[in-house]
């Protein structure tokens, strides 16, 4: 079956869905092609935190803040229950040594205009009474929120569909169509060809394989993470709590934590997220083990041990399910949201590591603006794919 | 025909009607229904409702029951407390 569209979006995760949504709101005729069901890749094996608190102060955090604003609009405009709650989030500080780094982090974010507070001493336990009693500080970001990531995808997809987008689930893209000068003309799929002058590649950790078929090198690697799901139970905290050491695990520092060596080896850092259904989720881990998505029992044990370090009262609460997902990691911790200079008409929107749910609104908006030819909501220079090419030339 | 108000998943209180709605929205297998409705996400992890979900899928999509398989098992096979998991008792 051959068909045509203005823009083809490859991938029905949160990023592809947001792009399809924003583009279709502009009146663009969109075809979204997804190999499985929508929300069946990383966007179905993750948490749903919409955070500014864990971003690098500067461009990274401003991008996340802008995305939070767009999300608040989506919550109103999408006709779908996203299970959205804006309760803020906190980073918990374990000892005085960490507190020095944490205060500096807090000051830089606050000076950049983010809605942050620093609590210490007694204030910590007035705020979150069930935290282990030797905790020394809390950094709070009031604008942080959470939602159900799969509901978010379904909501974006149904919004896009209502605005005229064609959604093709269970259809795999097997190659790109190009004219004799290399300009993109569409895609080849397991159900026939679709022609379009623009194609957006939003295939998460699977982006490099597809991009390689048109000679484009995309430095995205799968970075595996595990989650423990707790039964419905009283929550040990009233909002999202992460250990400050999570930032070290994410950005690759090692200073500031005294933990058993395997905690660092598997990038284990405590992340607690309450859900709207009365369950709670415990993360996190970070490792490069290719595309293996099976749960590693040893890592699950480490995560449970780490969670008890911060929340001793959850000892008798049961874990009912565990899963692992693959974060699309890039070497500089920023996603790629960019036209591909060597293949006119091709765009890439991938590499959001542990932030894709939160950054989906701004990513969708930016790609739509690039394609329609409007000025972009934020500068997109730091998100361009050529930044990696330039690095190689400098021999880094 | 089952009534739309009948509860299928007792842990998460999901009805036949909600499952039919999820299938209309694009759910094509047990996992797709689970992700859209939470059927099978409770304490029993689908042990009681999975068969019924498969039957509704077969009915709504007009396919034989044999085309549907249970969702992939997510360990632990039995719920385990954080305390026991942390001690490595299960491994
Ligand atoms: C454990 C864990 C916790 C996380 N927690 C959070 C969090 O709290 N907050 C947050 O913001 N982010 C979080 N993330 C990160 C977030 O989940 C990802 O950044 C995001 O889901 C990536 O979305 P995506 O659309 O790029 O990828 P995906 O959801 O993987 O979508 C890509 C899609 O492309 C499809 N595809 C691949 N190849 C083809 C092809 N050839 N043809 C057609 N389709 C194809 C795939 O089937 C897939 O559905 C977490 C991730 C993990 C693993």
B28 touches A at CB < 8 Å: yes
pLDDT tens, residue by residue, A278-330: 999 999 999 999 999 999 999 999 999 999 999 999 999 999 999 999 999 99
Decide: helix, strand or coil at residue A160. helix
Higher pLDDT, residue A55 or A254: A55
- Cα–Cα distance measured from residue A348 to residue A256, given in angstroms and rounded to the nearest whole number: 36
**Structure confidence at residue A255 (pLDDT):** 61
Q: Can you tell me which residue has the tokens 């008409």?
A: A345
Using only the alpha carbons of chain B, give its radius of gyration: 15
ipTM for the complex shown: 0.91
pLDDT tens, residue by residue, A152-182: 999 999 999 999 999 999 999 999 999 999 9
- Cα–Cα distance measured from residue A378 to residue A343, given in angstroms and rounded to the nearest whole number: 24
pLDDT band at A393 (very low <50, low <70, confident <90, very high): very low
- Cα–Cα distance measured from residue A62 to residue A56, given in angstroms and rounded to the nearest whole number: 9
Q: In the predicted model, is pLDDT for residue A249 greater than 90?
A: no
**Structure confidence at residue B74 (pLDDT):** 73
pLDDT band at B91 (very low <50, low <70, confident <90, very high): very low
Q: In the predicted model, is pLDDT for residue B77 greater than 80?
A: no
Average pLDDT, integer, range A318-343: 97
Domains of chain A, with CATH numbers? 3-45+150-219+332-393 (3.50.50.60), 89-142+221-329 (3.30.9.10)
- In A189-296, where does DSSP find H-type helix? 207-212, 245-251, 261-265
Question: Residue A236, preceding bond cis, omega within 30 degrees?
Answer: no
Give this prediction's pTM. 0.95
Centre of ligand 1 from the C-alpha of residue A255, in Å = 30
Residues in contact with ligand 1 (CB, 6 Å cut-off): A 10-16, 33-36, 40-43, 45-49, 172-173, 202-204, 206, 210, 225, 227, 283, 325-328, 350, 352, 354-358
- Cα–Cα distance measured from residue A110 to residue A117, given in angstroms and rounded to the nearest whole number: 8
Extents of the domains making up chain B = 7-86
Q: Whose alpha carbon is nearest atom 6 of ligand 1?
A: A47
Q: In the predicted model, is pLDDT for residue A395 greater than 60?
A: no
A46 touches B at CB < 8 Å: no
**Structure confidence at residue B70 (pLDDT):** 87
**Structure confidence at residue B78 (pLDDT):** 84
**Structure confidence at residue B76 (pLDDT):** 77
Q: What are phi and psi of A305, to 5 degrees?
A: -65, -40
Average pLDDT, integer, range A136-145: 96
**Structure confidence at residue A396 (pLDDT):** 37
Q: In the predicted model, is pLDDT for residue A394 greater than 60?
A: no
Centre of ligand 1 from the C-alpha of residue A292, in Å = 15
Mean pLDDT, all residues of chain A = 94
Query: Are B91 and A295 an interchain contact pair (Cβ–Cβ within 8 Å)?
Result: no
Average pLDDT, integer, range B18-32: 96
pLDDT tens, residue by residue, A345-360: 999 999 999 999 999 9
Least confident of A189-198, A281-290, B69-78, B80-89: B69-78
Q: In the predicted model, is pLDDT for residue A140 greater than 50?
A: yes
Greatest distance between any 2 Cα atoms in chain A: 69
Q: So what's the architecture of B7-86 in CATH?
A: Orthogonal Bundle (1.10)
pLDDT band at A56 (very low <50, low <70, confident <90, very high): confident
pLDDT band at A256 (very low <50, low <70, confident <90, very high): low
Average pLDDT, integer, range B16-21: 96
pLDDT band at B48 (very low <50, low <70, confident <90, very high): confident
Considering only alpha carbons, which residue of chain B is nearest residue A159? B25
Query: Are B43 and A295 an interchain contact pair (Cβ–Cβ within 8 Å)?
Result: no
Considering only alpha carbons, which residue of chain B is nearest residue A304? B86
């Amino acid at each position: 079956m051959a068909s045509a569209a203005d823009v083809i979006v490859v991938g029905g995760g949160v990023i592809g869905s947001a792009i399809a949504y924003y583009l279709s709101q502009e009146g663009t005729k969109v075809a979204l092609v997804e190999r499985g069901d929508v929300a069946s890749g990383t966007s179905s094996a993750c948490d749903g935190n919409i955070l500014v608190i864990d971003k690098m102060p500067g461009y990274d955090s401003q991008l996340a803040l802008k995305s939070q604003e767009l999300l608040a609009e989506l919550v109103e405009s999408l006709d779908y229950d996203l299970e959205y709650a804006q309760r803020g989030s906190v980073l918990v500080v374990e000892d005085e040594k960490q507190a020095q780094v944490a205060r500096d982090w807090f000051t830089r974010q606050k000076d950049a205009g983010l809605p942050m507070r620093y609590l210490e001493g007694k204030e910590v336990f007035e705020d979150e009474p069930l935290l282990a009693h030797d905790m020394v500080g809390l950094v709070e970001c009031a604008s942080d929120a959470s939602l159900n990531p799969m509901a978010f995808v379904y909501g974006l997809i149904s919004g896009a569909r209502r605005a005229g987008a064609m959604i093709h689930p269970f259809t795999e893209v097997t190659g790109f169509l190009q004219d004799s000068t290399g300009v993109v003309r569409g895609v080849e799929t397991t159900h026939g060809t679709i022609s379009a002058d623009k194609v957006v590649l939003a295939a998460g950790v699977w982006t490099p394989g597809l991009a390689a078929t048109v000679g484009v090198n995309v430095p995205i690697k799968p970075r595996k993470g595990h989650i423990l799901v707790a039964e419905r139970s009283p929550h040990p905290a009233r909002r999202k709590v992460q250990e400050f050491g999570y930032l070290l695990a994410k950005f690759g520092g090692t200073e500031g934590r005294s933990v058993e060596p395997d905690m660092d080896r598997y990038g284990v850092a405590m992340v607690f997220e309450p859900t709207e259904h009365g369950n709670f989720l415990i993360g996190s881990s970070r490792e490069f083990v290719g595309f293996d998505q099976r749960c590693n029992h040893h890592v699950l044990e480490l995560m449970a041990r780490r969670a008890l370090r911060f929340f001793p009262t959850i000892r008798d609460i049961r874990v009912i399910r565990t899963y692992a997902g693959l974060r699309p990691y890039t070497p500089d911790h920023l996603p790629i949201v960019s036209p591909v200079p060597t293949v006119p008409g091709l765009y890439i929107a991938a590499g959001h590591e542990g932030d894709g749910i939160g950054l989906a609104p701004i990513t969708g908006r930016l790609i739509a603006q690039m394609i329609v030819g409007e000025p972009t909501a934020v500068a997109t220079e730091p998100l361009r794919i050529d930044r990696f090419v330039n690095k190689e030339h400098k021999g880094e | 025909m089952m009534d739309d108000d009948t509860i299928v998943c007792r842990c998460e209180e999901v009805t036949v009607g909600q499952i039919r709605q999820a299938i209309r929205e694009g759910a094509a297998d047990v996992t797709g229904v689970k992700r859209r409705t939470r059927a099978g996400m409770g304490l029993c992890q689908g042990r009681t409702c999975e068969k019924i979900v498969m039957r509704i899928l077969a009915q709504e999509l007009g396919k034989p029951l044999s085309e549907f398989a249970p969702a992939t098992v997510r360990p632990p096979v039995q719920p385990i407390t954080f305390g026991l998991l942390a001690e490595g008792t299960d491994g």
